[in-house]
């Protein structure tokens, strides 16, 4: 299957990274290699790009798409949360820019058997890394009712979370819930008809929540932002693209903490905690897709880009 994914906020990211010909850059979410292609083609002698993805299919597709750049690009199959270890293994100390473009690729959504989509019938899976242990099947069939309610409410911001959790637990008393369509049916039964009339697909929020839980998407974000800023050279930049408010809030707060880490009470005349700013926020407000991009790529509608610069 062809790797189909239209990169989001592409020009804005490339501009934001301020690419130096001989710099070291890291694309933490290689996907189809769209952003990486634009980074790599701006690199000259001494320039290097590290492309990370936890999905082997993405690594293989990007390797093919980016083959013309030869050994300028190093491909790493790993989770970007391990960036410090990845640097150690590659003998690298610092980088001039990092990019993370979070979430699933269109390719992952289209590949029915990965179980990400509520529009296609497939076994419940949703693992971005098919070697990791926890799958959507495990979450749906082994989490307690309370834990399911928590996940669906917190990560899906789903007001019917409690009922959906109740219905899942009741249904699995008969037999395990094995497929995406079985789960969609349960969600439809749990949400009252009137509340399903308008708005997005009734399973959208629950599927998002389970995907976030399976891939620990929010849990690793703040720590990774800390680690990546630690690894930046002076004037190096970190660009983060998010697709929903929960992620964006984490990025916004993490950047604020990096810019102003002081924990002294406001009435203290001087700082005594000793925590120094790591740099400055470049984007006071997130960068949003242009109207042209919104017209061409529906998936970009919820994208937000925030940029931090190391001092
Ligand atoms: C939205 S796509 C990236 C698309 C890419 N920027 C492009 O232009 O083609 C997200 C990719 O990041 C990967 N990914 C998401 N979270 C990750 C993580 N924590 N570590 C490594 N890869 C991750 C997914 O497997 C997916 O391939």
Residue 247 confidence (pLDDT) above 90: yes
For the CA atoms of 98, 101, 103, 107, what is the dihedral angle to 10 degrees?
-120
Going 102 to 103 to 104 to 105, the CA torsion angle's sign is negative
From the CA atom positions of the chain, what is the Rg in Å?
21
pLDDT at 293: 96
Atom from ligand 1 closest to the CA of residue 224: 19
Mean pLDDT of 131-142: 97
pLDDT at 17: 98
User: How far apart (Å, rounded) are the C-alpha atoms in residues 208 and 109?
Assistant: 12
Is pTM beyond 0.85 here?
Answer: yes
3-state DSSP assignment of residue 151: helix
3-state DSSP assignment of residue 85: helix
* Ligand 1 in reach of 247 Cβ (< 6 A): no
User: How far apart (Å, rounded) are the C-alpha atoms in residues 20 and 22?
Assistant: 6
Tens-digit pLDDT profile for residues 24-51:
999 999 999 999 999 999 999 999 999 9
Mean pLDDT of 204-217: 96
* Ligand 1 in reach of 300 Cβ (< 6 A): no
Mean pLDDT of 16-22: 97
Mean pLDDT of 142-148: 98
Runs of H (alpha helix) within 114-265: 136-142, 145-156, 161-174, 180-190, 193-196, 204-214, 221-230, 245-259
- Give how far the C-alpha of residue 52 lies from the chain's centroid of Cα atoms, to the nearest Å: 12
Please tell me the residue having the least CA distance from ligand 1 atom 5.
Answer: 31
- CA 130 / ligand 1 centre spacing (Å): 14
Mean pLDDT of 172-192: 97
* Ligand 1 in reach of 127 Cβ (< 6 A): no
What average pLDDT is seen over the chain? 95
> Which of 249, 257, 259, 263 is CA-nearest to residue 221?
249
Structure tokens at 194: 């009137």
Evaluate whether 37 touches 43 at the Cβ level (below 8 Å). Answer: no
């Amino acid at each position: 299957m062809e790797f189909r994914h239209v990169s989001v906020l592409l020009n804005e990211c490339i501009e934001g990274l301020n690419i130096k010909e001989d710099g070291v850059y890291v694309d933490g979410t290689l996907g189809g290699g769209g952003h990486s292609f634009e980074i790599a083609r701006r690199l000259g002698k001494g320039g290097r790009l590290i492309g990370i993805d936890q999905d082997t299919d993405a690594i293989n597709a990007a390797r093919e798409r980016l083959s013309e750049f030869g050994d300028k690009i190093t491909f790493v199959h790993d989770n970007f949360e391990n960036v410090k270890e990845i640097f150690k293994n590659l003998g690298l100390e610092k980088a001039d820019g990092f990019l993370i473009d979070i979430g699933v690729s269109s390719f992952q959504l289209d590949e029915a058997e990965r179980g990400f989509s509520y529009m296609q019938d497939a076994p419940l899976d949703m693992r971005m890394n098919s070697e990791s242990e926890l799958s959507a099947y495990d979450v749906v069939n082994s989490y307690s009712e309370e834990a399911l309610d928590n996940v669906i409410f917190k990560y899906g911001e789903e007001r019917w979370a409690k009922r959906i959790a109740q219905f899942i637990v009741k249904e699995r008393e008969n037999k395990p819930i094995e497929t995406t369509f079985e789960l969609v049916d349960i969600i439809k039964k749990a949400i009252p008809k009137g509340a399903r009339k308008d708005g997005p697909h009734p399973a959208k929020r629950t599927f998002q929540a389970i995907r976030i839980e399976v891939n620990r998407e929010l849990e690793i974000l703040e720590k990774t932002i800390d680690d990546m800023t630690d690894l930046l050279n002076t004037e190096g930049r970190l660009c983060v693209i998010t697709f929903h408010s929960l992620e964006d809030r984490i990025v916004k707060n993490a950047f604020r903490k990096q810019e102003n880490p002081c924990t002294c009470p406001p009435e203290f005349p001087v700082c005594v905690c000793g925590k120094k700013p790591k740099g400055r926020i470049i984007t006071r407000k997130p960068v949003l897709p242009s109207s042209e991009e919104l017209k061409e790529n529906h998936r970009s509608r919820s994208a937000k880009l925030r940029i931090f610069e190391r001092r």
